[in-house]
Amino acid sequence: MTLIQLSALDLSIAALLVLGLAGLSWRLKLGVERQLLIAALRSIVQLLLLGLILKTLFSQNAPLPIIALTLFMLGVAGYEVMARQKRRFKGVWGIGIGTLSMFISSFSITLLALHLVIQVDPWYTPQYLIPLLGMLLGNTMSGMAIALDNLTKSAWQERGAIEAQLILGESWSKAIGEIRREALRSGLIPIINAMAAAGIVSLPGMMTGQILAGSPPMEAAKYQIMILLLIAVGTGLGAIVAVWIGSRRLFDERQRLRLDRLTKP
């Protein structure tokens, strides 16, 4: 099956639909039309640039530019985790928690998959590394952002109860334990829903792309199963690391609650 090429006219039709949605938002006074148009424009520019970059990387297959791109992706994902929180940690901790957690989770899971599951040689083959890491970073980023946002928001709302437990002699870990568990649950809900609905309610993105590109449906299904399972592990591990670091950061060395380390909404 030959892949059908999309023209600029084809893409402009989809863009007009987004403009229509922005107009509907303006008519209904939703107030999100500006953000919608900016996000759409960003996605168009970013994806076109990525296409050009990947075309160059695929032709060269040199490790240093590929590694530089993966680190850039990691840094942007860390920033996006911070940007989506209502109350985020001040200073370098704001971007550092998300970046470090995704490095521990997404990078390790990606390398594990490349070496043990796909067994691609060399491991930095951009055809496999970049899409796999991108899907893991994107989904882990969403789960971590939700988990951290719930952690800081709940800690602020329940600061009285936390401080009461500290006064009664509880450790910082016990005082914030239930809040931490609820934050982790909220971070895992999106990927749990995605796995539960895959193949029945929705046809996941990677499987759709492979089918459109002409891959056999069963082979596309196997790749999508692998991706969903890896995303679940990456999201869970990343959320656990991020929430643990974030909850520890909410207390000082004397186990006092330090909400002054968070920004105001």
State whether 241 and 165 are in the same domain. yes
- Report residue 37 as tokens: 């148009």
State whether 92 and 68 are in the same domain. yes
State whether 16 and 127 are in the same domain. no
pTM of the model: 0.81
Alpha helices in the chain (DSSP H): 8-27, 33-60, 63-83, 92-102, 108-112, 126-157, 159-167, 172-175, 177-197, 205-212, 217-249
**Residues 144 and 187 sit within 8 Å (Cβ to Cβ):** yes
Q: What is the DSSP string of 55-85?
A: HHHHHH--HHHHHHHHHHHHHHHHHHHHHT-
**Nearby residues of 152 by Cβ (< 8 Å), 6 or more positions away:** 85, 86, 87, 88, 89, 246, 250, 262
What is the DSSP code (8-state) at residue 260? G
Q: What is the pLDDT of residues 86-144, one digit of tens each?
A: 888 888 888 899 899 999 998 889 988 898 888 888 888 888 888 889 888 988 888 89
State whether 20 and 121 are in the same domain. no
Q: pLDDT category, 219, cuts 50, 70, 90? A: confident
Identify the bridge partners of residue 262 per DSSP, sorted by sequence position: 89
CA dihedral of residues 207, 213, 218, 223 (deg, nearest 10): -50
Choosing from 23, 43, 60, the residue where a domain stops is 60
Q: What pLDDT does residue 201 have? A: 66
Domain residues for the domain of 216 are 63-261
State whether 85 and 55 are in the same domain. no
Choosing from 16, 43, 60, the residue where a domain stops is 60
State whether 91 and 114 are in the same domain. yes
Question: Closest by alpha carbon to 101, among 145, 47, 37, 65?
Answer: 145
Q: What is the pLDDT of residues 42-98, one digit of tens each?
A: 999 988 888 888 888 878 778 888 888 899 999 988 888 888 788 888 888 888 998
Separation CA 204–CA 198 (nearest Å) = 6
State whether 5 and 117 are in the same domain. no
**Residues 15 and 48 sit within 8 Å (Cβ to Cβ):** no
**Nearby residues of 37 by Cβ (< 8 Å), 6 or more positions away:** 18, 19, 22
Q: What pLDDT does residue 151 have? A: 93
State whether 213 and 110 are in the same domain. yes
State whether 137 and 249 are in the same domain. yes
- As for how many domains the chain has, the answer is 2
State whether 222 and 182 are in the same domain. yes
State whether 211 and 85 are in the same domain. yes
